[in-house]
Structure 1
Amino acid sequence: MQLGDFSAHVVVDGKELEEYDVVIDSSTKATCYIASEQGKTFSVKWQCHAEIRLTDNSGKVMVDGISCGAYMMRSGSLGDEDTRVLSHIGETKARDLMFSRLQLSDDDDLLDKEVPKDLGDISLNIKRGELVKSRRRNRKTESCAPDENLKFHEKSKKATVHCVSFGPERVLRQQTTPSKFRVRVVPNDDPLLVFVFKYRPLGILQANGIAPKPVSVSSGSRHNVNLDECEIEIQDGSYIEDIKPVELDGRIETLENELKRLRSLQAGASQDRKPKRVKKEEPGLEKRLRFTPGEVIDLT
């Protein structure tokens, strides 16, 4: 998506995710849908395409309403420090941003638990102005890690089955003494730029007509398929071991729900296909209608 001189994307496996149903609400806000995949780590990338950046700016990333920090970009020219990528939280110990399955429960104590309005959203707010250095009032680092035990009632999911979690902690660099100063952007008169990425599983996007469904090959056109040009991927025995247990749980649950739905449809269809009774003719009727040659039938 792009607003003015700035563009923003969500990146998975080094590739920008396809954006569906892009809506530019105004010159300052853009919204779209992206497909999330459980267990995949991702990053948020933004770039300023102006030939000359006359002002400094900062980009603040939030996931599910939780702040993940901000990166600064100084004034300059195109190609000179014009891109920022946020893929984790933490300065010395990092945890990667990752799509995960939302925990749902049938515990009635969770019925009144409010679902955050930003659940399922990745947002980037770009503020333009001037970078200033000021003394840090409180050296305590503010934690932005989400609640690891975040759980909602199954009736409150509102078509959202994924959330963002943080991966295992890893060391980035050696712990240093916290700086006594901090750098922030004092905003100017330029409006705040807001990018919102609404992430959902691809199947949900397709079911709601947001993402196109895969093209199926009809039985009548199968003879046109050139098998020599088809790429068939063959997995060896180690494939199952590469799948994380949490991914298997998600797949099993999805398949079980689909199986229940299909069985329900099958049961309904079988009721409609009950054989109808055919009335049989009486054995003597045909005999009564026959007549012998030469017999006179009185039609008066």
Structure 2
Amino acid sequence: MQLGQFSASVSVDGVTLSEYAPEYSADGTEATRWIPSQNDKCFRVQWSNDNASKSLLISGRLNVDGIKCPGKRMAPKDPRRPTFSQASRDSVPTSAATRRPLMFSKQALTDDDEYLNASISPHLGTIRLQMIHVKKKGHTTLRTGATRKDYKKQILHEKSKKAVGHAVQFGAEFRSMLNTRSKSKTIKKLVTFIFKYRPIELLRADGVAPRPVEEERAPPTEVLDLTMDTEEDAAEAKIKELEAQLEELKKNQKRVKQEPSVKKEIKTESQPVFQPGEVIDLT
């Protein structure tokens, strides 16, 4: 996501997450995108400045679900790119030698009615990054054993309409090098990046993210209708029977044509010859 000389993104396992439905404020100082969250996956927020200057100190201040994370200053570090600076955050300090990673996880729900009317941050489901012009005031070291209570997971009542499927949780604590906290004074807020996250299934269901291209379907398996086959078999058998009868008739007709014709002799009985004047005895 880009706003003027500044850019920001969120990544999981080193891969930048896709961004959907871009929106910008009227004055061009705020940009909003939707990103797909992944359950039980740690994430990193990174930001950069393409027009950095040693005389202009910029700090990136991160909020996750309304929880403030320590800011991180940006300064040019590569002499080959004197006007480029960047920074990132993937964990928060919990003591002088421990940190907890940022991660997406399933929203914690409870049926305990004590949480029914509990206050819920309006920034739940949101990662907010502000680029701020600051003045350096030094730094302090976190005391050993000091913890941030507001790093605990936010629990919602199961009937809450604020649940968005996932929430930012803070993973298991791990050892790290000495943690310091920068102290600075805000001079001017420059731009704000807002990442609204949801499981990819919800983004697709809401029409925010496109549905995946359907894989080519395999040809459907032919289903045999046994009833139909029985009727067809009966019809076919009848046809074969009729064809056999027809063939037999043709053979008989051929045989009849080949036999010689027999003339029947008609015997004519000899008729008596009467002489003139002969008397016939009828007794």
Question: What interval of TM-score do these two structures reach, taking the shorter chain for normalisation?
Answer: 0.5 to 0.7
TM-score by length of 1: 0.63
Per-residue CA deviations over 1:104-159 (Å, capped at 9, x if unaligned) read: 2233332212221111111111111432338x6x97967264224x3211221435
Instruction: Select the residue among 193, 196, 215 that pairs with 2:194.
Output: 196
Counterpart of 2:44? 43
Question: Structure 1 residues 78, 72: closer, same or farther in 2, change over 3 A?
Answer: farther
Show the counterpart of 1:111. Answer: 116
SS in 1 for 2:69: strand
- In the alignment, the residues of structure 2 paired with residue 147 and residue 170 of structure 1 have an alpha-carbon distance, to the nearest angstrom, of 15
Sort the Cα spacing of 1:132 and 1:109 in 2 relative to 1 into closer, same or farther, 3 A. closer
Percent identity of paired positions between Structure 1 and Structure 2: 34
Counterparts of 2:171 and 2:208, CA distance in 1: 29
Structure 1 partner of 2:208:
210
Distance 1:105 1:132, change over 3 A: closer
1:229 is matched with which residue? none
1: CA distance between counterparts of 2:195 and 2:155? Answer: 22
Give the aligned residue type for 1:5. Answer: Q
What do the CA deviations read for 1:56-92 (whole angstroms, capped 9, x no partner)? 1111111111112111123687835711010101152
| Pair member with larger Rg | 2
- Pick closer, same or farther for the CA change 1:74–1:217 going to 2, 3 Å: closer
Letter of the 1:166 partner, please give it.
Answer: F
Residue 52 and residue 78 in structure 1: after superposition, are their counterparts in 2 closer, same or farther (change >3 A)?
farther
Aligned to 2:70, what secondary structure does the other structure show?
strand
1:3 and 2:8 correspond: no
How far apart in 2 are the matches of 1:68 and 1:129? 16
User: What is the identity, as a one-letter code, of the residue corresponding to 1:89?
Assistant: V
Partner Cα separation in structure 1 for residue 47 and residue 136 of structure 2: 18
Query: Which runs of structure 2 are paired with 1:235-246 in the superposition (5 Å)?
Result: none
Write the distance in 1 (CA, Å) between the matches of 2:152 and 2:87.
Answer: 27
Would you say the 8 A contact 1:124–1:194 is kept in 2?
yes
CA apart distance, 1:103: 1.3
Per-residue deviation, residues 6-44 of structure 1 (Å, max 9, x unmatched): 100011111111111111113211111100011100011
Residues 142, 168 of structure 1: CA spacing in aligned structure 2 closer, same or farther, 3 A cutoff? Answer: closer
Q: In the aligned structure 1, how far is the partner of 2:216 from the partner of 2:98? A: 52
Closer/same/farther in 2, CA of residues 112 and 54 from structure 1, 3 Å limit: same
The one of 79, 82, 98 equivalent to 2:81 is 79
Which is helix-richer, 1 or 2?
Answer: 1
Alignment RMSD: 2.9
| Alignment check: 8 A CA contact 1:103 1:152 kept | yes
- How far apart, CA to CA, are the structure 1 residues paired with 2:80 and 2:55? 11
Q: What secondary structure is seen at the aligned counterpart in 1 of 2:24?
A: strand
3-state SS, counterpart of residue 156 of structure 1: coil
In 2, are the aligned partners of 1:55 and 1:75 still within 8 Å (CA)?
no
Contact 1:120 1:199 in 2 (8 A): yes
What TM-score, normalized by structure 2, do the two folds share? 0.66
For 2:103, the equivalent position in structure 1 comes to 98
Give the distance between the partners of 1:56 and 1:75, measured in 2 at CA.
10
In structure 2, the CA distance between the partners of 1:101 and 1:66, relative to structure 1 (3 Å rule), is same
Alpha carbons 1:88, 1:96 under 8 Å: kept = yes
> How far did 1:95 drift?
1.0
Matches of 1:108 and 1:9, distance apart in 2 = 38
Alignment of 1:1-300 (within 5 A): 1-25=1-25, 26-50=27-51, 52=53, 54-74=55-75, 79-80=81-82, 82-90=85-93, 92-133=97-138, 143=148, 145-148=150-153, 150-158=154-162, 160-173=164-177, 183-188=182-187, 190-217=188-215
Over 3 Å counting, the alpha-carbon distance change for 1:162 and 1:53 in structure 2 is same
Which segments of 5 or more consecutive residues in structure 2 lack a partner in the other structure? 220-283
Gaps of 5+ in 1: 224-300
Aligned residues: 213
CA distance in 1, matches of 2:81, 2:22: 27
Inter-CA distance 151–142: structure 2 relative to 1 (3 Å threshold):
closer
> Which deviates further from its counterpart, 202-211 or 58-67?
58-67
Q: 1:155 to 1:49 in 2, by over 3 A?
A: same
